[in-house]
Chains A and B, each alone.
With several copies, the nearest count.
Chain A
Amino acid sequence: MIQLTTFPIDSDALVRQAQVPASGAVLLFLGVTRQHTSGRETAELRYDAYHEMAEKELAALEEKARQKWHLNECLIVHRLGKVPLGEASVAIVVASPHRHAAFAAGEWLIDTLKMSVPIWKEEHWADGSSDWIHPEHDVKHSQATSTNK
């Protein structure tokens, strides 16, 4: 299941959904709005997305992770709009019979999401200024890698 939402993420409900007797291991990852980044203070984050494409990319990540690690459950929720300090911008829950698959899939999902899903973060700093964050990485997909160096 993938979801984009402007509401707070209910990670308890996601864990409950994944915690079933078929799964020996349940992993939850939360990306949380951090107060301090490289010495600067954040007031809040705002997330924008290319909505239809982000949903398709997230669904593709879910599908790929389920196949690669034989997951029993794979839930990815990304929040959009304002995300106050201490609240989650992203939640990933994976469940699998054994724990190593859960750790590997969870880390791959967040790493890949950050590389390929068209969602953007705007830092609103405590001093009143703001910046769109556009990290120095190529968007990760096969065609880009070969043609857009």
Chain B
Amino acid sequence: MRVKVKMFAAARDATGASEVVVELPELARVRDLRIALESEYPQLAPLLSRAMFAINTHYADEDTPVPLAGEIACIPPVSGG
């Protein structure tokens, strides 16, 4: 399956896009998404190791299934305030 992943801040700068598309096996989980992104965008690796993912605007953990349809986002360490 192909999923879209929103990119923010340094992750957007590193990929050059506010949204990227990655190919994932069916039933993929967040950990698989992380690996697929790293292999597609090696320049993301340092940030990815510290980033979280959100699915439909909720923080996901590594075991959360990646939905076929839904909003997926890569969340680098936040720095608001």
B and A form one assembly: yes
Cβ of B78 under 8 Å from chain A:
yes
Bound-state Cα–Cα, A136 to B51, Å: 11
B80–A143 touching, CB < 8 Å: no
- Known contacts A50-B54, A132-B13; A121 and B62 CB within 8 A of each other: no
Number of interface residues of A (CB under 8 A): 37
Cβ of A37 under 8 Å from chain B:
no
From A14-22, A65-73, A110-118, give the one contacting chain B.
A110-118
For residue B80, which residues in chain A have a CB less than 8 angstroms away from its CB? 47, 49, 54, 78, 89-90, 113-114, 117-121
Distance in Å from the Cβ of B24 to the closest Cβ of chain A?
A: 19
- Known contacts A78-B80, A114-B78; A120 and B8 CB within 8 A of each other: yes
Residue of B8, B47, B59 touching A48 (CB-CB under 8 A): B8
For residue A143, which residues in chain B have a CB less than 8 angstroms away from its CB? 59-61, 64
For residue B78, which residues in chain A have a CB less than 8 angstroms away from its CB? 114-120, 135, 139
For residue A144, which residues in chain B have a CB less than 8 angstroms away from its CB? 52, 59, 61
- Known contacts A50-B73, A53-B54, A132-B10; A148 and B79 CB within 8 A of each other: no
Bound-state Cα–Cα, A89 to B78, Å: 14
Cβ of B25 under 8 Å from chain A:
no
Cβ of B37 under 8 Å from chain A:
no
Distance in Å from the Cβ of B72 to the closest Cβ of chain A?
A: 11
Bound-state Cα–Cα, A21 to B80, Å: 18
9 A-B residue pairings within 8 Å (CB atoms): A56-B57, A89-B80, A110-B81, A114-B80, A115-B78, A117-B80, A119-B81, A132-B79, A136-B50
